[in-house]
Structure 1
Amino acid sequence: MKKNSPSADQSEFNPVDLEEVNNKKDGANPLKNKVLSEKGMPQDMSPSELKIFGSDYFTNYEFSWLKFNWRVLNLAKNTDLPLLERIKFIGIVCSNLDEFFQKRVGGLKRQIHAGVSELNVDGHTPEEQMQKIRKEVKKMIKHYRSCYLDEIVPQLHENGILIKDYSELDATLQEKADDYFEKQIYPIITPLAVDEAHPFPFISNKSRSLAIKLRSIETNDLLFARIKIPANRPRWIKLEQTDKNVVLLSVKDLIKEKINRFFPGVEVLSANVFRVTRNADIERNEEEADDLLEMIEEELRERRFAEVVRLEIDKNMPLDVKKYLYSHLHVHQNEVFEMEGPIGLADATQLYNLDGFQHLKLEPWVPSLHPVFRHPIDEETPSVFQVIKKGDFIVHHPYHSFESSTQRFVEQAARDPKVLAIKQTLYRTSSDSPLMHALIRAAETDKQVAILIELKARFDEERNISWAQRLEKAGVHVSYGIAGLKIHTKLTIVVREEEDGLRRYVHIGTGNYHPDTAQLYEDLGYFTCRDEIASDVSDVFNLLTGYAPSQTFRKAFVAPKHLRNNIMELIQKEIDEAREGRPAKIIAKMNSLEDPLIIQKLYEASQAGVSIDMIVRGVCRLIPQKEGLSDNIRVHSIIGRFLEHSRVYYFHNAGEDLYYIGSADWMHRNLDARVEVLAPIEHPRLKQYLEFMLGIYLRDNQQRWVMKSNGNYRKVKRKKGEQKIGTHSYLMAHTKSHAEPIPRATKKDQK
């Protein structure tokens, strides 16, 4: 390192006049005559279909996502939550930011490099978005770090979780720390010098490193070295634990304390932490790829070496070392975030997992056995196929056990001699998934097993490649779907030989076949053996594995070819009903609402008088409660103990009360660039449960936020005399106390 190391146009926009929207004459659609801008249209969308443009009509995707993360941060700040639960949400906030920079900021940076200056549908250029993101993220960093350092850490100490500096340890604990360093840390670390003979080392994504400034005793030259803090060691070392407290030492602090051990004969001037985040928004043209598996493996290799989109550094790092890093990592100062104290607090979830401090957590939730599987003790345990034959049912995770329902379905199919074939789509699963092991066993017993694996499930590509290879070795027919489309739908079909012929049993889910996330994510799973639904699911598999471009479906809504039109037609039906003065209502629950055409149609429905409730956990680009535009639309967001993940859609439909569930959000990517399935729920009791469930969400006064017309959110407060309703605690209690074969609302619930 040299002593004097060097450091390292907007488009004009005139929004559509909102007064024109308010000028409603003769019941005409006020959106009809808007001037169209072709800028910022999603790929494959017909610009002529979108007649509105600008920030009067759409919130910005990135800014909406950041508002979602603020709502998560609110949970970390919530002093009514147990202390370690607050720690967990700090970790989630930081993990979310990591992914946001990898995917969203990475994508914006690619656009800027490509010279994109056009306005997107909400009227922002990529450069404008980057500037606003930095300002908002800096504010968020200040808040979450203040929450962690000024509130949570002192309370950890008060409750016996003592995170100490090396100098604060007594002689006995220092000896333990020294022993740990010599046996568990020193053998792993390889200090890397940077000079004429040693190039600047590769810094891996999300790794923490020490930038070390050194001085040669012999020549007085300044030198630079890097030490990677090992990620395969715990962030905090447990030195001592009693009944009342535990003493922890940061592995980073231990390495800094022993830094001279790595550089004998050289003077260490400083050692400061830095951390990089790399761009994960790397896409390759799979239509030109000869081998999709090989293409994804190459993309993963490229991602490892992708450009840096964020550099987090210790605020106390010497200026010349900062400039040295900027130069060698090719970052601009607007991509640098300086912090005082620990960096990379996504690891804070390790503190949540400490043994012996259950009193600082919420009471563990043990999912219930679904009522349809309950039976008298003297009866033989019914098979899942017997249960499905008795009637359709819905499981609601994590309230109902995934292991005893969805996992049981696959495992019983694998070992049942009457089962001839099993087909499943796989988007994400665990590294040691019992479902995958069951499918391997099924293939080894000569059952026909076909798995459609999505290799491009972001951040799960390596795991899915590994499962694809293991499944193929076992004789499973593995397919990767259709070029240009992600397989996002969650389907399983089992073909069983029975006395009256072949029968198909189906599971359609809103969430992944992932036993771990099923404990944390709220999702629905629909079981049926109805011929019309089973035929549709069979046709979806045939579409994905064969050639069936003109495939049509009886009951299911399937993307990309049909789902958008199906949804638009149902919204139009509500519009027609409202214009005739009849009741019209839509309730839609999803993760994100982004698609401009759907939003435009919802505005039209609002203006016609349709009552619309959107339950959107994360990003929402629609603006509700805006006079003359969206007066009849309300947007709700439920944030709490479990991650809201199910998609449920309700349409009044002239009193028919249509319900659909599936894996598709109302986003361009789900409607036009993914394979998705929405299944109709037609059994009256199942419809009644979904009505009850959605009613709880809309009455929540503990976890619910509502979006205002300015795009900001406010948390709903319980009114005087109002029953206390928190969605997650209410549904946990409901699941434990209701023993009917198919849960339904009581009169009290329906009030």
Structure 2
Amino acid sequence: MNAAAFDTPTTVVDTDPLRDSELYFNRELSALDFNFRVLAQAQDPQVPLLERLRYLCISCTNLDEFFEIRAGTLRHAQDLGVPPGPDGLAPATVLAHIHERAADLVRSQYECWNDVLRPALDDAGVRVMHRDGWSEQQTQWLREYFRDEIMPVLSPLGLDPAHPFPKILNKSLNIVVVLKGKDAFGREGHLAIVRAPRSLPRIIQIPEDVSGGKHDFVFLSAVLSAFVDELFPGMQVKGAYQFRVTRNSELIVDEDEVENLALALRDELVGRGYLRAVRLEIAEQCPDDIVRTLLENFDLTENAVYRINGPVNLNRVIQVYDLVQRPDLKFVPFQPRQLSGVEAMFDTIAEGDVLLHHPFDAFTPVLELLKQASEDPNVLAIKQTLYRTGKESPIVDSLVQAARNGKDVTVVVELRARFDEEANLGLADRLQDAGVQVVYGVVGYKTHAKMMLIVRREGRKLRRYVHLGTGNYHSGTARVYTDFGLFTADADIGNDVHLIFQQLSGLAPTIKLKRLLQSPFTLHAGVLKRIDRETRHAKAGKPARIIAKMNALNEPQVVRALYMASQAGVQVDLIVRGACTLRPGLPGISENIRVRSIVGRFLEHHRVYWFANDGDPDLFCSSADWLERNLLRRIETGFPILAPELAQRVYEEALANYLADNCSAWTLQSDGSYVRLTPAPGDAPHSAQLSLLANVGA
């Protein structure tokens, strides 16, 4: 062979037109746009007023998390020189687009607050008061409150060579103060920083006997700004400007280099609040030279600055929602359906599979099954995955009680559940103290599957009872997230779940499952196989259709397979709540694909995949979105609904029902924009969530 052959690299050009970057939206920008749809709920006069306030706060909190995770990860990728993804956009380009789009969102959020919600709340007798609107009596009460409750815990810091810029905690409220004059030591005043400790309430309610109104509130930031001069006696305050810095909160633990994941994670959590800055929010009237000083301190550039016309911590106004008991300003409460036979869960499940659709069906049966298992002398073992559970979880109480009652209890606790790491470390400690065998899953793969397995002796045989879900074992989110849960005693499903738990707790080889799909092994391939099957049906002239509901979609092979299906004539309907990188409606590519997003009273959370399969439909519920991480880098499950009547119920309630929605649905256009649907002339309005609520008597 000619030696020159080794000197000239061969470049392989990908000529597949379905990999063209123009066919893929950017995931981060698509995720960011979801918050405009949430904000639209706050702007909708048909939504109760305090619920509109809640939606505004959700959009703000979502934006915080977006910067902490997505923008933080992008900056890290930029530093590492990570190449562009399927959309062809380099990290630096995406960050520039993020700043432009996020600035529009922030502007819309504060316009909604200042021009719409705050005046409407005031008219309704719920006043969140401006400083210039305080009466003399209110001002005096707030001054005394400042002196008695706030000033004793403040530690103002003047900036000079002996007092460098202090560490600023992630998302904490701070005031930068411009001073003139000299202090007791003759030091010339210039700038000072006042940090508001987390112990202080961000919303302060003025007593009715002082204010005259039952629901009068002020922001802590307004009180600090109003009375900050009392912290610097003898000096003149020339200006006080609130600011907040957001930091990267994505914990990076090199799991291959640590002997104890829990200890390593604890070490990382200590410094999480002081990781690299990614965003600076500052009062819009703050002078440019002070903004430059802050940017220099936080090692940020101008495209990380967001000037704010209002409180920098606007999401804290959510406290007003909790403090004001005004049913006329909130959604009508409802009582979820209660399962018949909940007092004897093993008998109920033994009679046939049971499906729960939360929040319309109560979460109580899940709690009852575990409680009854913890007390049943015939139950020998309980195995469960826990990703998020919430505080004071009855699930955890039952697991602890089961262990104390002598049952073999194994719990797979995912320590790396984002923002629940500290809670899950404490949860793991509590379970271990009770004698529960705690497993942290598989190094490099988050355990996101939702599974419960109970082994019970019945006569001379052991029987497995299983619960599989699309959502977490969390009583709180089960009241506000849409999710499916399946109870079954099916032997094949029980054995599959048993094998997965063995794999998670031991060093088991690759396993072969009969009913379940599992990532990172068979779920991705199983989805692609079923999309391909629909494609082949369409090419053979048979009816072919795919309907899938999920939270997000970005896995390139799945997107490409869907494009190929569309080209073959498969009708594809995708219900994707958040980020979607697939571009629908392109002639010759995706004209047979439709994408919609539903935003309503409840957070859409269940994942359902349906494939027509030439008249023999294939339906799976799953814990996994069609994201790269879920399909390739996590432990997830997809479980079939085997009982025909239950499969039909899932299809009707979570798919057909949502495709008929013409009130809460937004359709994704080929240019990346979303258009909200309204009933066509002569069509009756249909809201998927409201129709499900009507069935439970709300």
Band of TM-score, shorter chain: over 0.9
* TM-score normalised to structure 1 length: 0.88
Q: How far has the Cα of 1:220 moved from its partner?
A: 7.0
Distance 1:169 1:348, change over 3 A: closer
- The partner residue of 2:14 within 17, 36, 40 is 36
- The partner residue of 2:522 within 562, 582, 586 is 562
1:656 maps to 616
Q: How far has the Cα of 1:166 moved from its partner?
A: 4.8
Q: How far has the Cα of 1:647 moved from its partner?
A: 0.4
1:94 maps to 60
Q: Secondary structure at the match of 1:383?
A: helix
Q: Secondary structure at the match of 1:641?
A: coil
- The partner residue of 1:202 within 149, 159, 167 is 167
What do you get for the CA RMSD once the two structures are aligned?
A: 1.8
Q: For 2:493 and 2:200, locate their aligned partners in 1 and report how far apart those are by CA, in whole Å.
A: 49
Q: For 2:167 and 2:572, locate their aligned partners in 1 and report how far apart those are by CA, in whole Å.
A: 51
- The partner residue of 1:296 within 233, 243, 265 is 265
Distance 1:534 1:149, change over 3 A: same
- The partner residue of 1:384 within 340, 345, 354 is 345
2:148 maps to 183
- Contact 1:612-1:634 within 8 A present in 2 as well: yes
Amino acid at match of 1:252: S
Amino acid at match of 1:352: Y
Q: How far has the Cα of 1:192 moved from its partner?
A: 2.4
Q: Secondary structure at the match of 2:152?
A: coil
2:671 maps to 710
Residues 470-509 of structure 1 correspond to what in structure 2 (within 5 A)? 470-509=430-469
Q: For 2:491 and 2:674, locate their aligned partners in 1 and report how far apart those are by CA, in whole Å.
A: 44
- Contact 1:94-1:345 within 8 A present in 2 as well: yes
Instruction: Give the stretch that moved more between structures: 158-167 or 132-141.
Output: 158-167
Q: How far has the Cα of 1:500 moved from its partner?
A: 4.3
Q: For 2:109 and 2:353, locate their aligned partners in 1 and report how far apart those are by CA, in whole Å.
A: 45
Q: For 1:391 and 1:368, locate their aligned partners in 2 and report how far apart those are by CA, in whole Å.
A: 19
Q: How far has the Cα of 1:111 moved from its partner?
A: 1.6
Please state if 1:417 is matched with 2:377: yes
Q: 1:21-75 deviations in whole A, cap 9, x for unaligned?
A: xxxxxxxxxxxxx9528xxxxxxxxxxxx76334421111112112211111111
Q: For 2:229 and 2:189, locate their aligned partners in 1 and report how far apart those are by CA, in whole Å.
A: 16
2:5 maps to none
- The partner residue of 1:246 within 190, 195, 215 is 215
Q: Percentage identity across aligned positions? A: 38
Q: 1:284-304 deviations in whole A, cap 9, x for unaligned?
A: 221221111112122223422
Please state if 1:266 is matched with 2:244: no
Q: 1:551-593 deviations in whole A, cap 9, x for unaligned?
A: 1101100110111111111111111111111111111110011
Q: 1:209-239 deviations in whole A, cap 9, x for unaligned?
A: 0111223336572332221223333322111
2:9 maps to none
Q: 1:667-715 deviations in whole A, cap 9, x for unaligned?
A: 1111110001111111011011012111110000110111112221111
Q: For 1:290 and 1:196, locate their aligned partners in 2 and report how far apart those are by CA, in whole Å.
A: 43
Please state if 1:695 is matched with 2:659: no
Q: Secondary structure at the match of 2:166?
A: coil
Please state if 1:534 is matched with 2:503: no
Q: Secondary structure at the match of 1:526?
A: strand
Please state if 1:460 is matched with 2:420: yes
2:48 maps to 82
Residues 117-156 of structure 1 correspond to what in structure 2 (within 5 A)? 118-156=83-121
1:287 maps to 256
- Contact 2:358-2:482 within 8 A present in 1 as well: yes
Q: For 2:558 and 2:262, locate their aligned partners in 1 and report how far apart those are by CA, in whole Å.
A: 34
2:246 maps to 277
User: Number of residues paired by the alignment?
Assistant: 682
- The partner residue of 2:126 within 161, 165, 172 is 161
Distance 1:385 1:312, change over 3 A: same
- The partner residue of 1:724 within 685, 689, 697 is 685
Q: For 1:169 and 1:626, locate their aligned partners in 2 and report how far apart those are by CA, in whole Å.
A: 57
Q: How far has the Cα of 1:507 moved from its partner?
A: 0.4
Q: How far has the Cα of 1:365 moved from its partner?
A: 2.8
Amino acid at match of 1:456: R
Q: Secondary structure at the match of 1:700?
A: coil
Please state if 1:333 is matched with 2:302: yes
- Contact 2:575-2:598 within 8 A present in 1 as well: yes
2:534 maps to 574
- Contact 2:553-2:626 within 8 A present in 1 as well: yes
Distance 1:584 1:467, change over 3 A: same
Distance 1:56 1:196, change over 3 A: closer
- Contact 1:624-1:631 within 8 A present in 2 as well: yes
Q: For 2:685 and 2:672, locate their aligned partners in 1 and report how far apart those are by CA, in whole Å.
A: 27
- The partner residue of 1:113 within 73, 79, 96 is 79
Instruction: Give the stretch that moved more between structures: 107-116 or 305-314.
Output: 107-116
- The partner residue of 1:589 within 549, 571, 579 is 549
Q: How far has the Cα of 1:171 moved from its partner?
A: 4.3
Q: For 2:232 and 2:530, locate their aligned partners in 1 and report how far apart those are by CA, in whole Å.
A: 70
- Contact 2:431-2:438 within 8 A present in 1 as well: yes
- The partner residue of 2:19 within 30, 53, 56 is 53
Amino acid at match of 1:36: D
Q: For 2:656 and 2:461, locate their aligned partners in 1 and report how far apart those are by CA, in whole Å.
A: 41
Q: How far has the Cα of 1:350 moved from its partner?
A: 1.4
2:191 maps to 224
Amino acid at match of 1:490: K
2:7 maps to none
Q: Secondary structure at the match of 2:337?
A: coil
- Gaps spanning 5+ residues in structure 1: where? 1-33, 38-49, 374-380, 738-751
1:511 maps to 471
2:606 maps to 646
- Contact 1:536-1:554 within 8 A present in 2 as well: yes
Amino acid at match of 1:227: V
- Gaps spanning 5+ residues in structure 2: where? 1-11
Q: For 1:433 and 1:615, locate their aligned partners in 2 and report how far apart those are by CA, in whole Å.
A: 31
Amino acid at match of 1:394: L
Instruction: Give the stretch that moved more between structures: 720-729 or 667-676.
Output: 720-729
Q: Secondary structure at the match of 2:87?
A: coil
- Contact 1:162-1:245 within 8 A present in 2 as well: no
- Contact 2:21-2:88 within 8 A present in 1 as well: yes
Point out 4+ residue stretches in structure 1 off by more than 4 angstroms.
242-245
1:444 maps to 404
- Contact 1:36-1:52 within 8 A present in 2 as well: no
Q: Secondary structure at the match of 2:585?
A: coil
- Contact 1:53-1:123 within 8 A present in 2 as well: no
1:6 maps to none
- Contact 1:658-1:682 within 8 A present in 2 as well: no
Q: For 1:415 and 1:332, locate their aligned partners in 2 and report how far apart those are by CA, in whole Å.
A: 60
- Contact 1:659-1:687 within 8 A present in 2 as well: yes
- Contact 1:35-1:51 within 8 A present in 2 as well: no
Q: Secondary structure at the match of 2:504?
A: helix
Q: For 1:244 and 1:253, locate their aligned partners in 2 and report how far apart those are by CA, in whole Å.
A: 19
Residues 622-633 of structure 1 correspond to what in structure 2 (within 5 A)? 622-633=582-593
Instruction: Give the stretch that moved more between structures: 198-207 or 350-359.
Output: 350-359
- Contact 2:203-2:317 within 8 A present in 1 as well: no
* TM-score normalised to structure 2 length: 0.94
Q: For 1:714 and 1:168, locate their aligned partners in 2 and report how far apart those are by CA, in whole Å.
A: 39
Distance 1:633 1:221, change over 3 A: same
Q: 1:5-25 deviations in whole A, cap 9, x for unaligned?
A: xxxxxxxxxxxxxxxxxxxxx
Q: For 2:503 and 2:187, locate their aligned partners in 1 and report how far apart those are by CA, in whole Å.
A: 70
Instruction: Give the stretch that moved more between structures: 350-359 or 56-65.
Output: 350-359
Q: How far has the Cα of 1:255 moved from its partner?
A: 2.0
- The partner residue of 1:69 within 35, 49, 64 is 35
Q: 1:418-442 deviations in whole A, cap 9, x for unaligned?
A: 2111110011110211111111111
Q: How far has the Cα of 1:625 moved from its partner?
A: 1.4
